[in-house]
Structure 1
Amino acid sequence: MGRVIVTGETAAHVAERTARASYGRLVALLAAPAGDLQLAEDTLAHAFEQALTTWPRDGVPDNPEGWLLTVARNRQRDLWKSAAHRRNQPLEAATDAVEPLNDLEPDRIPDRRLALLFVCAHPAIAAGVRTPLMLQAVLGFDAAQIARAFAVPAGTMSQRLVRAKRRIRDAGIPFVVPGRQAMPERLPPVLEAVYGCYALAFSERGEGTSVAGEARYLAVTIAGLLGDAPEAWALAALLTLASARATTPGDRYLPLQDQDPGEWDRDLIAEGESYLRLAERPGQAPGRFQLEAAIQAVHCDRARSGATDWDTLCTLYTALVAIAPSLGSRVAYAAVLGRTRSPQMGLSVLEALPVERERFQPYHAAHGDLLARLGRHEDAVAAYTRASMLSTDPAVRTFLERRAEELSR
């Protein structure tokens, strides 16, 4: 492979960027032969360690992904051939030598990654850990990030993920996209993981937006692959419409109501609306992602009408919490109730949420807004302060701190 000589700092930056962009694809390729997710992650970690040692000295290869894949596969081969490993794994797994790769066969990688998503959705895996497992193993988020999204302690999430990976290996779950008969059972957690990937990535701003774009690409790819799955098209619509409004500069946060619709991407809005039409099924009740996409469409319609239809949003959120009463949907519902009905009504819904709300940053932000609308400024300051402490996005943290300061005057 050709190399470009660069400084150690630049080499480290390339390794970091490659991890963000290609982690899931590389794990999918490494895990498929033996069905061992933990081994794939361990050997890929070894490859990144090697990269941080050799790239600053020898230069970054023309194809960093191919270099990492080759090193990780060679490490797997060595482990398979070791005496200790030979007692536990068939010898055939280690017989093929791994040649250096100049190309990563990009046309095949999405299928491998989609296969791994559906592997993690296998019914042998505990339902509550399927989506978190996809977020870590395929989409590259760490246990702490996933734990925050699910409002559970990081240690608890780590233990669940380790057990799930062990289950995949021990049960010999095949790394293939399942047949049509298995799709209805496995599709919901796959869509949930892609949605979670978008939400987690976009909250990181800057570099995270490339991962958010990758999540949108996966959603559109899955919808096209299945062809007739309404919720898959609805997720593609949801992420596309949300992306159309993703125009805020990386160092600044603007809440939705303060954004300028003139800066939104009209082409993406049209694309998202076309996906939403593909999700429609006359006479069939809309699913969770159809409702969420419809909510995004109402917001995006402000680019045409100049106003937000809050009554329609309230209707949609009422339907959403009836079929998918997640912590996030109930917080959003309370916030919309506070605008369309009364702040006290929204506050009543918000404060009735379970104890997990205390680890959920959007809860505290919405709480602060509703308390401020009721004139309870001291309580609102406390809520905004707590929200800022829970935020991992510096721009959001600055916005929340500013709100608290304004209410303190």
Structure 2
Amino acid sequence: MSPSASSLAESVARRSYGKLVAFLAARSGDVAGAEDALADAFAAALEHWPASGIPDNPEAWLLTSARRRQIDNARKAKIRLEKADDVTRQIEELAVIKAEDHVIPDERLRLMFACAHPALDATVRAPLILQTVLGFDAAAIASAFLISPAAMSQRLVRAKTKIRQAGIPFRVPEREELPERLDTVLEAVYAVFAEGWADPEGSQPRRRNLAAEGIWLGRLIASLMPDEPEVLGLLALMLHAEARRAARRSPEGDFVPLAQQDTLLWDEEMIEEAEALLARAAKRGQIGRYQLEAALQSAHAIRRRGLAVDWAAIVQLYDALVLLTQSPVAAINRAVALAHIAGSEAALAAFDALLEDARLAEYQPYWAARADLLARAKRLNEARDAYRRAIGLESDPVIRRHLQGKMGQV
């Protein structure tokens, strides 16, 4: 196999996987079958392209090859004859696509919303989007959602079967149906980004490029739904966070907290794009979670202009976010912000109230933030205990080293 053919096949796979799966599945109603047919098409490309040359339109070549496989499978399937004929007829409509000059419609958004259908179990909707649109394997998805790969694989298979058997439609939902379905789609995109964000240096193969994939998906949805404020808010949030990537580690590879980052290393162009998106979203007058989180990022971004962070405004934004989401993570961040305007003891009182949430007992950021506040309040023994708890819960050696250094200062 020539390097050029192999690299082109990989490039097409990365760029077009979800687009081709969506196009095939939207017509057959069978996500798993579309994935299998496309996998065979990629295998055929790696076999034929080195000998016959790379086609002018690789996407159309792959689509034609996958369509033939779908037709063969539909004819062989042991299902009712009229259903087999119907599936075959729908697939054969693809024959009108000219291999060289036809633009393949982008139906990924329809595929995302099919995967977010209320008939599917809520726990599998976002993972299903990650697999069908980006081609992630079950192990990578399982890590992001904190369950075993075997359990995730079983859930994904069951979900694809249900889409086919229940005839779940591939369409963007009506306005009244949109909020619940859109939330799932945005959650999946943010999960992709967050996984990549957790690896700022791009050193972990499983997480490499995931932040870029999340932003790419966000741009795709924003291009297809340009008037949805939460779509714009999520894209703004991801761009604000990604803009600081170069400042999150020192030249020696040490962790650098947000307040200590060199703002000259922030990506100004990315921040300006995020600010413009957030302004567009605000004009719609429909505040949501992602807009609030993006606004919080924006409140910190003013440091690049030499301005002081408005901590009172940040506390107000967190108040709204906690009220909207009931998120313990938002409540932790609110308490940290409160320390800047009301002092460490007031913040610690807010932290004490959060301990009623059992999930925080094993949540590292809670203990790290609590330790910092205890240290500032001169409650040194308690601070050391909290740092030990945070260090024990942290898996990233860079952050663990940072916490150990702070405990040493105490």
Shorter-chain TM-score tier? 0.7 to 0.9
Any conservation in 1 of the 2:367–2:389 contact (CA below 8 Å)?
no
Are residues 1:272 and 2:274 paired?
yes
Any conservation in 2 of the 1:245–1:300 contact (CA below 8 Å)?
no
Are residues 1:367 and 2:367 paired?
yes
Query: Residues of 2 paired with 1:257 and 1:318: CA distance?
Result: 21
SS, match of residue 124 in structure 1: coil
Are residues 1:161 and 2:156 paired?
yes
The verdict on how the C-alpha distance between 1:104 and 1:387 changes in structure 2, with shifts beyond 3 A counting, is farther
Are residues 1:81 and 2:75 paired?
yes
Query: Residues of 1 paired with 2:349 and 2:88: CA distance?
Result: 63
Any conservation in 2 of the 1:288–1:323 contact (CA below 8 Å)?
yes
**Bigger Cα displacement from structure 2, 398-407 vs 245-254:** 245-254
Match of 2:23 among 24, 29, 48: 29
The verdict on how the C-alpha distance between 1:128 and 1:55 changes in structure 2, with shifts beyond 3 A counting, is same
Any conservation in 2 of the 1:5–1:59 contact (CA below 8 Å)?
no
Alignment of structure 1 residues 230-245 onto 2, 5 Å? 230-245=229-244
Amino acid at match of 1:294: A
SS, match of residue 15 in structure 2: helix
Are residues 1:200 and 2:199 paired?
no
Query: Residues of 2 paired with 1:175 and 1:306: CA distance?
Result: 48
Residue identity (%): 39
Query: Residues of 2 paired with 1:24 and 1:209: CA distance?
Result: 17
Any conservation in 2 of the 1:198–1:216 contact (CA below 8 Å)?
no
Query: Residues of 2 paired with 1:173 and 1:335: CA distance?
Result: 45
SS, match of residue 158 in structure 2: helix
Query: Residues of 1 paired with 2:303 and 2:210: CA distance?
Result: 26
Match of 1:105 among 88, 103, 106: 103
Amino acid at match of 2:387: A
Amino acid at match of 1:322: L
The verdict on how the C-alpha distance between 1:333 and 1:159 changes in structure 2, with shifts beyond 3 A counting, is farther
Amino acid at match of 1:6: P
Alignment of structure 1 residues 162-311 onto 2, 5 Å? 162-204=157-199, 205=202, 207-224=209-226, 227=227, 229-248=228-247, 254-280=256-282, 286-311=287-312
The verdict on how the C-alpha distance between 1:373 and 1:85 changes in structure 2, with shifts beyond 3 A counting, is same
Q: Give the TM-score taking structure 1 as reference length.
A: 0.77
Amino acid at match of 1:137: T
The structure whose RCO (Cα within 8 Å, separation 6+) is larger is: 1
Match of 1:392 in 2: none
Amino acid at match of 1:364: Q
Instruction: State the Cα distance separating 1:28 from its structure 2 match.
Output: 0.9
Match of 2:65 among 68, 71, 93: 71
Query: Residues of 1 paired with 2:68 and 2:403: CA distance?
Result: 54
Match of 1:344 in 2: 348
Amino acid at match of 1:34: S
Instruction: State the Cα distance separating 1:324 from its structure 2 match.
Output: 0.9
Any conservation in 2 of the 1:338–1:370 contact (CA below 8 Å)?
no
SS, match of residue 90 in structure 1: helix
SS, match of residue 35 in structure 2: helix
Q: How many residues matched?
A: 384
The verdict on how the C-alpha distance between 1:339 and 1:60 changes in structure 2, with shifts beyond 3 A counting, is farther
Which has the higher Rg, Structure 1 or Structure 2?
Answer: 2
Q: Deviations over 1:150-186 (max 9, x none)?
A: 4444444433333322221111122122334433443
Q: Deviations over 1:243-281 (max 9, x none)?
A: 433445899564423332223333333332232223236
Q: Deviations over 1:43-84 (max 9, x none)?
A: 333344455666678776665544543433332222112253
Instruction: State the Cα distance separating 1:214 from its structure 2 match.
Output: 0.7
SS, match of residue 117 in structure 2: coil
SS, match of residue 42 in structure 1: helix
Any conservation in 2 of the 1:80–1:89 contact (CA below 8 Å)?
no
Query: Residues of 1 paired with 2:99 and 2:30: CA distance?
Result: 22
Q: Give the TM-score taking structure 2 as reference length.
A: 0.77
Instruction: State the Cα distance separating 1:34 from its structure 2 match.
Output: 1.0
Q: Deviations over 1:202-246 (max 9, x none)?
A: 44535334313312312421441xx3x332332343234334334
Amino acid at match of 1:384: I
Query: Residues of 2 paired with 1:118 and 1:54: CA distance?
Result: 35
Instruction: State the Cα distance separating 1:188 from its structure 2 match.
Output: 2.5
The verdict on how the C-alpha distance between 1:369 and 1:52 changes in structure 2, with shifts beyond 3 A counting, is farther
SS, match of residue 215 in structure 1: helix
The verdict on how the C-alpha distance between 1:365 and 1:19 changes in structure 2, with shifts beyond 3 A counting, is farther
SS, match of residue 27 in structure 2: coil
Any conservation in 2 of the 1:151–1:356 contact (CA below 8 Å)?
no
The verdict on how the C-alpha distance between 1:406 and 1:400 changes in structure 2, with shifts beyond 3 A counting, is same
Query: Residues of 2 paired with 1:338 and 1:86: CA distance?
Result: 67
Match of 1:353 in 2: 357
The verdict on how the C-alpha distance between 1:57 and 1:178 changes in structure 2, with shifts beyond 3 A counting, is same
Query: Residues of 1 paired with 2:238 and 2:188: CA distance?
Result: 13
Alignment of structure 1 residues 139-150 onto 2, 5 Å? 139-150=134-145
The verdict on how the C-alpha distance between 1:294 and 1:314 changes in structure 2, with shifts beyond 3 A counting, is same
RMSD between superposed Cα atoms in Å: 3.7
Any conservation in 1 of the 2:243–2:268 contact (CA below 8 Å)?
yes
Instruction: State the Cα distance separating 1:114 from its structure 2 match.
Output: 1.0
**Bigger Cα displacement from structure 2, 155-164 vs 33-42:** 155-164
SS, match of residue 118 in structure 2: coil
Query: Residues of 1 paired with 2:351 and 2:53: CA distance?
Result: 57
Query: Residues of 2 paired with 1:246 and 1:76: CA distance?
Result: 43
Any conservation in 1 of the 2:234–2:290 contact (CA below 8 Å)?
yes
Are residues 1:316 and 2:313 paired?
no
Instruction: State the Cα distance separating 1:298 from its structure 2 match.
Output: 0.7
